[in-house]
Amino acid sequence: MGQLLALVIVAVVVIGVVKLVRIVPQGYEWTVETFGKYTRTLTPGLHFLIPIYQAVGRKMNMMEQVLDVPSQDVITKDNAVVRVDGVMFYQVLDAAKAAYEVAQLEQAALALVMTNIRTVLGSLDLDESLSQRDAINAKLLRVVDEATHPWGVKVNRIEIKDISPPRDLVDAMARQMKAEREKRANILDAEGFRQAAILKAEGEKQSVILAAEGEKEAAFRTAEARERSAEAEAKATTMVSDAIASGNVNALNYFVANNYVEALKAMAASPNQKMLLLPIEATGVIGALAGIGELAKESLGQQQKAAASQPPQLR
């Protein structure tokens, strides 16, 4: 009987020591309840509690945790049904609030995220839902973080993992994308043809302008040549007239013979002439040529006389 009593006393002492000494591991915080009422929070380390009077209430994990959001069907603004899932990262900052402000913290946070996913995606079109993933994540994070703040919880990140439209909708989107690409290709081809036509027309325009400029320049040069030829002819005629007026018949013979020779040259060069017939007056050309010789001798004699009449120092 005495041994049994001793054993009971030892057991009570051991249980009392266990209830008295508390060691909180790193990354956790425990709440202390006095007769069921929250009094304080135990941080990591060694602590002492009064058995029966004080007890450990909730053991809260203070490390960042990840909560997997299961997939659900969501109807977008344009009545397209998509399947969405995600993930949430959160951390408990206040153990007392997380323990006593909300029951089943993870379940409440999960329900809050799923509800806001339906709200956010329901306000967007399908194209916006697929292309604005970052904007959706930012909006979900802001709304859920505000809602969980009274619980002593900080939501660090919310990510939409996958948005899956129905198969028939995916096929329709693929056909639409193909049609859009073909449309852009046709537009680019038409633009290329238009630019080619414009460049060709510009080239033809420049060619016509350059050809007209060339013809204008050629006409100007031809007119200038004719003008100079006429001036030379007029000058020659004037000189011959002056010579005739002074009584020099050889100058007239030279003028007539020169024109006569030019006419015979033109007749001989004609492609249609097979045989050349000279008129009887052609014998007069010899006389004209003799006149040319006399004219040359006379001009040479005049030059020699002029040279002889000059003073010796000017020779």
User: What digits encode the pLDDT tens for the residues 186-202?
Assistant: 888 888 888 888 988 88
Lowest mean pLDDT segment, chosen from 16-25, 83-92, 200-209: 16-25
Residues of 132-165 as b/e, b for ≥16 C-beta within 10 angstroms? eeeebbebbbebbbebbeebbbebeebebeebeb
Report the predicted TM-score, pTM, of the whole model to 2 decimal places. 0.54
Lowest mean pLDDT segment, chosen from 16-20, 133-137, 284-288: 284-288
Lowest mean pLDDT segment, chosen from 70-79, 137-146, 219-228: 219-228
Per residue in 273-297, pLDDT tens? 555 555 545 555 555 555 555 555 5
pLDDT reading at 314 higher than 90: no
Identity of the amino acid at 207: S
- Residues in contact with 63: Cβ distance below 8 Å, sequence separation at least 6, in sequence order: 27, 91
pLDDT reading at 133 higher than 70: yes
Q: Residue for token digits 């904007």?
A: 135
Per residue in 58-102, pLDDT tens? 999 999 999 999 999 999 888 888 999 999 999 999 999 999 999
pLDDT reading at 211 higher than 60: yes
pLDDT reading at 250 higher than 70: no
* Closest-CA residue to 84 (of 108, 115, 43): 115
- Percent of the chain's residues with pLDDT above 70: 72
